[in-house]
Every structure is written in C-alpha cells, then in structure tokens.
A = this chain, B = another copy of it.
Amino acid sequence: MTDRFQFTLNATDGAARTGVIDTPRGQIRTPAFMPVGTAATVKAMMPESVRETGADILLGNTYHLMLRPGAERVDRLGGLHRFMNWDRPILTDSGGFQVMSLASLRKLTEEGVTFASHIDGSKHVLTPERSMEIQRLLGSDIVMAFDECPALPASEEEVANSMRLSMRWAQRSRDAFGDRPGHALFGIMQGGVTRDLREESAKALTGIGFDGYAVGGLAVGEGQEAMFGVLDYAPGFLPQDKPRYLMGVGKPDDIVGAVQRGIDMMDCVLPSRSGRTGQAWTRRGQVNIKNARHQDDPRPLDENCTCPACRSYSRGYLHHVFRAGEMISGMLLTWHNLHYYQELMAGLRAAIAEGRLDGFVADFHAARAEGDIEPLA
C-alpha cells in the first residue's frame, strides 16, 4: 500500500502500455476497464461480485449523485466508498458530460452551467469549483476536471471555442482541487477530430499539470474509424509517465483498438446495460439471449467462460428468465459481461507484458469472425 497516487509503466508493445496505478485504496492494473456505478451501484450487481470479475476501480457519476442522494448527504453517510460498500478506488466524472446529455434548460456561461434536474426539474449549478467540491464530498480517488463537450455535429470553430473554455475550466479545476495527497486530478483533452486542436488542448493541460489525462469528446457518435483516427495521434501529445483515460469506451473491439493506441483506462455502461437487455458479450461476439433459438439449448453462453452464468446455467435458462422478466436475467448477464470485459483486459495486459499484443489482437478478431456457436440441430 501507498499513501500516494503513482503510476508505474511496466512494459510497452508498440504504442500499447501496461502498468500499475498505486493508490491508498489499492492498485489499478492498466489497461483497466472501469465498470460504471452511476447512482452508487453497478446496476444488478453486488459490489463483491463486481470485484470478483476482476475490477480494480469503479466509476461514479457526479451528475447523478449530486441530484440524488446529494453529495453532502453521501459525505454525511461516510463518503461514496462506505455508502456503496466498495473500498477500492473510485473515479468520478466531473458532471459536465451528463449535464449536456441528460439535463434540460441548460445555460452555459464562462462561469459554468445551470440546468434542471432530469429527475424532478429542480435547478442546479455546476462550475469547476462546485464540481471539485462535489467530488471531494463523494471521496473520489480520481477526480475529473470540469469540462464542456459540445453536442455533435459542431463546426470546427464551435469545437475550438468549447475546447478553450474547457481549458480555462481545467485551470480553475486545478486551482480548486488544491493539494490532496493520495487523490488524483485528471485533466480532459478536447478538440474533437481536429489534430491541431487536440495538440493545443494537450499543451494547455500539460502546462497546468495533472496526475493523469483523459481523452474526452470521443465515443459521442463520431464512429470507430474517426475515434481511432484521433487515437492514432492524440495519446502521443500526452506525457508518457501519466495514465491516459479514454472516457465512455466502449465495445470490446473499441477497447482493443484503444489499448493498441496507448490508452490505459476506459469506462462504459455497455456491459452492464447490455446485461439488462438480454445482450451478452463473448469472445465470439454478441449473443442475443432473447432469440428463440436458445430456448432448448443446454449449452452455456460460452463453454470457456468461468463466470457464474456460464458455470451453472444453460442458454435455455437464460432465455427463460429473460422472457419471464426475472431479475436474475440482468444479474447473470451483467456478471457475465463484466467478467468477459475484465478477462479481455487481463488478456491485453498479459499480451503487452509479453510483447505479443499483435498475436493477441489477431486471435481476438478471429474468434469474433467465427461468430456465435451454431444453433442446436
């Protein structure tokens, strides 16, 4: 254990990196996938089970938690870790992205953003200073700078203006965060798909100085090709010795491509959300358990998977409980999906450490190209 936040890079393979982030609450092995616990719970999962999948760190959403139950209340109840029974690291986003995507009656000024809650319409204000305060009250281990992400489509000028506002907010976030040993503050690079803007943003952030750097403004509808296009150069603008976090990504092949391009951390609701809608992710790609072809199938989702859903339940059962609307459907499929994601990350880490990432990625794509197992005759 350490009382400091510290990133150690252990190996690289091409642009890809593997290492460890030491924090007072435990180690984060990178590349890391962070399950999303939006409202102080990873939906359908007990936190012990999330840990069993291999997750080292969770993500919490500042926007949701500030509205319900409220950051001051979480603080009074002992902080987010105690509140949700997760004693390992937690990263909280800044609230900026969710305000833009979920809240209504938004008003953006240099100072910050005012908005109406999507839950009850109540009025709220988020500024860099308030975002830092909320994330401190939550007890977040990795705090994200408050940023603005323009809705797509946006002109290059809009993207540039938004990025520069985010950079001024990054400085205010840094100032408001202060000195909190054992806690980290990450800056967020913006600039859309424009290389010059990405470079300008990276320079602004590294000039301020952060404990880690996120690549923001991707995975917002631009498509995988455009995202990989940015990731071909953007991580290179960031310091080698700090973790790089790609926000809101993604599907398994997005994750693999991002890791190949030098990303260390990712988060996404996809594995848990898919689990609640009958979608399973396996090494052979996506399986829709709703499909009637599974109803008499005694085989597990993936005979090579060691998660509880695959160890103990048939596709026939998983199909049945999904159709019957039973909670165990979401519980088992979410567990499977999170297990698969963490297994993928472990595979990526090992491959990078052993200098065989290209082979690992080729195998990954070959298994997906095979597709799901054939239906029973």
Contacts and interface: CB of A to CB of B under 8 A. Distances in A.
How many interface residues does chain A have, given as a range?
35 or more
A41 B298 CA distance: 17
Contacts of A226: none
A76 B314 CA distance: 11
A355 interface: no
A69 interface: yes
A68 interface: yes
A149 B73 CA distance: 51
A213 to B, nearest CB: 32
A296 B313 CA distance: 40
Interface in A302-354: 308, 312-314, 316-317, 319-321, 323-324, 326-328, 330-331
A82 to B, nearest CB: 8
A224 B324 CA distance: 33
A45 interface: yes
A203 to B, nearest CB: 41
Interface in A82-97: 83-85
B327 A43 contact: yes
A68 B325 CA distance: 12
A317 to B, nearest CB: 5
A330 B327 contact: yes
A298 B46 contact: no
Given A313-B85, A316-B77, A326 B41 contact: yes
Residue among A69, A76, A314, A320 having the largest count of chain B Cβ atoms under 10 Å: A320
A325 to B, nearest CB: 9
Residue among A40, A76, A312, A317 having the largest count of chain B Cβ atoms under 10 Å: A317
A371 interface: no
Contacts of A69: 295, 316, 319-320, 323
Contacts of A308: 46
A219 interface: no
Main secondary structure of the interface of A (DSSP, over half): loop
B84 A317 contact: yes
Contacts of A330: 327
A312 B68 contact: no
Given A85-B313, A314-B83, A326 B43 contact: yes
A46 B316 contact: no
A296 B77 contact: yes
A40 B314 CA distance: 13
A73 B296 CA distance: 7
Given A43-B326, A68-B324, A83-B316, 5 more contacts: A44-B327, A68-B320, A77-B314, A83-B320, A85-B317
Interface of A: 39-41, 43-46, 68-69, 73, 76-78, 83-85, 295-296, 298, 308, 312-314, 316-317, 319-321, 323-324, 326-328, 330-331
Closest 5 CB pairs of A and B: A69-B320, A85-B312, A41-B328, A77-B316, A44-B327
27 contacts: A39-B320, A39-B321, A39-B326, A40-B317, A41-B321, A41-B326, A41-B328, A43-B326, A43-B328, A45-B328, A46-B308, A46-B331, A68-B324, A69-B316, A69-B319, A69-B320, A69-B323, A73-B296, A73-B316, A77-B298, A77-B317, A83-B317, A85-B312, A85-B317, A327-B330, A327-B331, A331-B331
